[in-house]
């Protein structure tokens, strides 16, 4: 049971990073873009946040979190 603790860090990052990307997008572009374009691009920005999370996971963060617990 305790050998699964190394999953906690990456999953917390998985929740935080897309929300940060969409929050930053909302803070910058909510007043600049028209509402329809803003809402249309909201999904791709969240997917970009997932991509930002996924690439470093393959480059060694998984081993980092696994080694810390």
Sorting pLDDT into bands at 50, 70 and 90, what band is 64? Answer: low
Q: What pTM did the predictor assign?
A: 0.70
Segment 15-52, tens digit of pLDDT: 898 899 999 999 999 999 999 999 999 999 988 888 88
Q: Which domain holds residue 22?
A: 2-68
Residue 62 near residue 10, CB atoms below 8 Å: yes
CA-based angle 64:3:65, to the nearest 5?
Answer: 10
Higher-scoring residue by pLDDT: 23, 14: 23
Domain count across the chain: 1
User: What is the rounded distance in angstroms from the CA atom of residue 21 to the CA atom of residue 47?
Assistant: 9
Residue 21 near residue 49, CB atoms below 8 Å: yes
Residue 49 near residue 19, CB atoms below 8 Å: yes
């Amino acid at each position: 049971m305790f050998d699964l603790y190394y999953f906690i860090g990456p999953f917390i990052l998985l929740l935080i990073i897309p929300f940060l990307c969409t929050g930053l997008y909302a803070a910058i572009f909510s007043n600049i873009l028209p509402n329809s374009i803003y809402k249309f691009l909201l999904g791709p920005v969240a997917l970009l946040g997932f991509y930002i999370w996924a690439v470093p996971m393959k480059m060694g963060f998984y081993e980092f979190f696994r080694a810390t617990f």
